[in-house]
A and B are shown apart, each in its own frame.
Chain A
């Protein structure tokens, strides 16, 4: 088994960030065995920062109306209610279906929310459209599915 590994985190191309964007500050981590693992980067293509205001998570409540288990992101539709009772149709994307598959979450786990009042933590589109990136869903019974970022409580 090869024992010597090299920190290639500063390289461009297939194994390092483009344009310096790194999620959660993860980079090359030196493991005890002397292997360098270049941290895989978030997402299949565009960075969420190209669309969403990543610094301002927002909590919304409403009823889930539809779940689409598609690539490159799963998509959820929600009728979001504001304080005045006005309802707006929102669309959210979240992590890729393969990611959810790997961590043991199925479409059915989200589809269980259809018709129910849930609260979601999202980052919203910078352009003001009713579009967001879903980071956490809290079900009426208190169950939670969330992307585990340090700032999600």
Chain B
């Protein structure tokens, strides 16, 4: 790479030093020996999947924000100069037909007849009854794919940005079973394992207060969620979720796989959710979000 001769050497040296330092950083791993510590990404060859020392694909990294934002552009005038800015939201809604590794999927879950009216009613009145509209946690899998993944030898950590409060999920990968005495939760009790190059997260022990999808997709506390994550040779994260709830569904529901590009946007604390529109709504116009 040619270096522009006008960049001071001291700046270049500082930049190189900073890069070397960040490459040497490892996350704190209290239960792991140095022999199995994750290496920094060694694979700079395009088309290959980077792997950790134990041979699994390395899902670690920061991934594109996947929640819908307004499709409008920003128009800005500063000192008489006009700029228009838009950003790539393709991680949100790109629907591919034939993603290698993806499971077949269905447009919508199949509810048992006795639940169909309720789901329709929830969907129609979403802007009044959707807990997420009123700052509640979306839960798993509605939160979608993680914004940041930290993959360690015995656990993988998912970090999210969400206006309900930036959740995290710690997913043990050391073979332990689900916790026997944990309280039900919105994000569930998760354990993870590898099936070839796919990371499979199985979650259980949910409360029934969330929706698993946008359109009034209520569920029981018997719901289980299976999420599958894998890398494409191009370096994208693939994410696909299956909801299993024999109480309300006639069969498990698998949603379409999402292709999530890596992101240079560091994760940031989501501003506090303070909802003040619910009491002003004059009709039920609304949109999906995830």
Contact = CB atoms under 8 A, between A and B. Distances in A.
Interface residues of B, number: 70
Nearest to A16: B288
B282 A51 contact: yes
A95 B286 contact: no
Contacts of A99: 69-70
A37 B277 contact: no
Nearest to A38: B93
B71 A47 contact: no
B19 to A, nearest CB: 25
Interface stretch (B20-28, B201-209, B268-276): B268-276
Contacts of A42: 70-72, 287
Contact of B95 (A15, A40, A71, A95): A15
A43 interface: yes
A115 interface: no
A83 interface: no
Interface SS of chain A: helix, strand, loop or mixed?
Answer: loop
Interface string A72-113: 110100000000000000000101111111111100000000
Interface stretch (B37-45, B77-85, B178-186, B189-197): B77-85
B130 A45 contact: yes
Given A42-B72, A42-B287, A50-B282, A18 B97 contact: no
Contacts, number: 218
B125 to A, nearest CB: 11
Contact of A24 (B71, B84, B89, B265): B71
Interface string B244-277: 0000000000011000000001001011111111
Given A2-B97, A51-B281, A97 B92 contact: no
A8 B256 CA distance: 11
B171 interface: no
Contacts of A12: 107-108, 215
A43 B74 contact: no
Interface in A27-47: 35-47
Nearest to B285: A47
Contacts of B86: 103
Given A6-B95, A104-B85, A148-B73, 7 more contacts: A5-B96, A24-B71, A41-B68, A46-B281, A103-B86, A143-B79, A147-B75
Interface of B: 65, 67-80, 84-87, 89-90, 92-100, 107-108, 123, 126-127, 130, 132-133, 135, 161, 163, 213-215, 232, 234, 255-256, 265, 268, 270-278, 280-290
24 contacts: A5-B94, A5-B96, A13-B213, A14-B214, A15-B288, A23-B70, A23-B71, A42-B70, A42-B72, A44-B68, A44-B289, A47-B287, A70-B271, A71-B270, A75-B276, A95-B70, A95-B72, A101-B268, A103-B74, A127-B282, A143-B78, A144-B75, A144-B77, A148-B75
Interface of A: 1-6, 8, 11-19, 21, 23-24, 26, 35-47, 49-51, 68-73, 75, 93, 95-105, 125-127, 129, 131, 136, 142-149, 152
